A and B are shown apart, each in its own frame.
Chain A
Amino acid sequence: MSLVHLSNFSAHLKNCLRINQTITSVPYSRLHLQIALGLYKEGFISLLQRGSLTGPDESPVDVTPDNIATRRLWLGLKYRNNQPVIRQFLMISKPSRKVNLTTKEIKALASGLPVRFILPLQPAECIFMKTKGDKIYEIQEAAKKELEGMVLCRIR
């Protein structure tokens, strides 16, 4: 779980969206899978598939130490009226400023209040947070489950 990797992921997606790319791949790691699954659940991406450097797998392939170097996660990017669905992908926590929130603060943030320097949640925006067990949740889900942890990024 690295904030640097998440920042790279964000920058990569934004670069791909700027040139209206429909499909892209990111390294195959747990963090990328968790964030991509979050984006998929929230409807920001249209495809989430495992694959190799050449493209998504046509039939399931087991990940082994022999092929791990070529494994990638393939994401389908969404556009609407020629505009990317992901308009903004901002990091809240940085390696130099990790933002850990309590359950109360998470609930406040989820209900649309500003918390510390974090601006209020906007309509159709989602914030991802990480618990101590390295699980990633959307802020509404985290508030419902009364979790606490580090807020990672906000997407809309």
Chain B
Amino acid sequence: MGTIRFGGKSGLLPKVRPVFKHHPVKPKTHFELAQEKNLEQGYADNVPLPEKKGFTFYRKPKDLPVMSVEERIKKYIDSKVPQDIDESKLSENEIWQLKRDEIRREHLREAYLKEFKRLEKIDKLKELVAHKENERVSEIAHEESEAYKLTLPTVSSFINGRMMQERSPEQQALVDEQRILNRKSKQLEVAEKRATELLELYHSANGFITTEEELEQAIKEAFEVNVSKFERNMMNIDNKLSGYSFAYAQANTTESIIFDEVFGEIKGQPGLEVVKDTLDGTTQTLKQQAQVNLNEKI
């Protein structure tokens, strides 16, 4: 046993024929107009239309002329009532035909009015449904009231806006400048350090052995037993071991370091600043200025 075809009915019922088939009975409501606003039919723009005799293609559905129920009744019922009929001349059969026609007309009138009422009812229901749907949509889109927002912590405003205040172009320009300055001063520091090291190397090059005579002298000094020097060294070592001159030696070293730092020297030799001043003539200018001042005082 399979399922019952057509739900147990003997067959498909015919489609219900509309009573007002060709012309609408009332103009479209604003709701219907809004619904059909974007309705399009036929062929898209820029598509060549086919040739069809006696037929016009419309992009938008064409509104049919409205024929109200009253007009309809007038046109199809009242105007078709036979006029000036003398019943005495008619046969009994013809009189019955007339009565039958009269009854049919009344039925049709009744059908028109009833159908119109039914359509009106459907329209009202449709409008009600649409109104409810509109309300639902607007409720979804509804934003919280100002009072609700004000009573909430302000964090919601942070979420919607920016989390951080960006720098203004002027502030950003300042930061950029500062960054460039930092980089350049760091580079300068490195360059100065390297120059100082080079200068230190230059100063210590004084003691380098470069000629044969100097080499021989150095060898001689290294291997010749110098009694006084040997004794001095011995005494130094003894002092260091007993800790006698340790503090003195350390103070001496510290002093020389401070001295170097203060005067910008490298182990008693001219430092980088002194060399720079001499090279660009600042020292010379200073000396001249000092001389002039001295002369003025004298």
Residues of A within 8 A of B (CB): 28-30, 33-34, 36-37, 40, 48, 62-65, 68, 144-146
Q: In the complex, what residues of B have CB within 8 A of residue A146's CB?
A: 140
Give 19 pairs: A residue, B residue, CB < 8 Å, sorted on A: A30-B159, A30-B163, A33-B155, A33-B158, A33-B159, A33-B163, A36-B155, A37-B159, A48-B153, A63-B163, A63-B165, A64-B164, A64-B167, A65-B164, A65-B166, A65-B167, A68-B164, A144-B140, A145-B140
How long is the Cα–Cα vector from A62 to B166 in the complex, in angstroms? 11
How long is the Cα–Cα vector from A30 to B161 in the complex, in angstroms? 10
B165 touches A37 (CB 8 A): no
How long is the Cα–Cα vector from A68 to B165 in the complex, in angstroms? 10
B206 within 8 A of A: no
Question: Which of B140, B153, B159, B167 contacts A34 (CB under 8 A)?
Answer: B159
B163 touches A28 (CB 8 A): yes
How long is the Cα–Cα vector from A62 to B163 in the complex, in angstroms? 10
B140 touches A63 (CB 8 A): no
B295 within 8 A of A: no
Q: In the complex, what residues of A have CB within 8 A of residue B156's CB?
A: 37
CB closest residue in chain A, given B175? A65
How long is the Cα–Cα vector from A56 to B235 in the complex, in angstroms? 69
Q: In the complex, what residues of A have CB within 8 A of residue B167's CB?
A: 64-65
| Shortest Cβ distance from residue A37 to the other chain B in the assembled complex, whole angstroms | 5
A29 touches B159 (CB 8 A): no
Given A144-B140, A145-B140, A146-B140, also A62-B155 (CB < 8 A): no
B155 touches A63 (CB 8 A): no
Q: In the complex, what residues of A have CB within 8 A of residue B163's CB?
A: 28-30, 33, 63
CB closest residue in chain A, given B140? A145
How long is the Cα–Cα vector from A115 to B140 in the complex, in angstroms? 23
Question: Which of B155, B164, B166 contacts A37 (CB under 8 A)?
Answer: B155
Residues of B131-157 at the interface with A, using a CB-CB cut-off of 8 Å, are: 140, 153, 155-156
| Shortest Cβ distance from residue B219 to the other chain A in the assembled complex, whole angstroms | 64
CB closest residue in chain B, given A64? B165
Q: In the complex, what residues of B have CB within 8 A of residue A33's CB?
A: 155, 158-159, 163
Q: In the complex, what residues of A have CB within 8 A of residue B153's CB?
A: 37, 40, 48
| Shortest Cβ distance from residue B233 to the other chain A in the assembled complex, whole angstroms | 60
| Shortest Cβ distance from residue A130 to the other chain B in the assembled complex, whole angstroms | 13
How long is the Cα–Cα vector from A146 to B140 in the complex, in angstroms? 8
| Shortest Cβ distance from residue B140 to the other chain A in the assembled complex, whole angstroms | 5
How long is the Cα–Cα vector from A7 to B278 in the complex, in angstroms? 67
CB closest residue in chain B, given A40? B153
CB closest residue in chain B, given A144? B140
Q: In the complex, what residues of A have CB within 8 A of residue B155's CB?
A: 33, 36-37, 40, 48
Q: In the complex, what residues of B have CB within 8 A of residue A145's CB?
A: 140
| Shortest Cβ distance from residue B152 to the other chain A in the assembled complex, whole angstroms | 8
The 4 closest A-B pairs by CB, nearest first: A63-B164, A37-B155, A64-B165, A145-B140
CB closest residue in chain A, given B141? A145
CB closest residue in chain B, given A60? B154
| Shortest Cβ distance from residue A104 to the other chain B in the assembled complex, whole angstroms | 15
What per-residue 1/0 map shows which CB atoms of B78-111 lie under 8 Å from chain A?
0000000000000000000000000000000000
Q: In the complex, what residues of A have CB within 8 A of residue B165's CB?
A: 62-64
How long is the Cα–Cα vector from A34 to B157 in the complex, in angstroms? 11
A36-B155, A63-B163 given; 9 more Cβ-contact pairs under 8 Å:
A29-B163, A30-B163, A33-B159, A40-B153, A40-B155, A62-B165, A64-B164, A145-B140, A146-B140
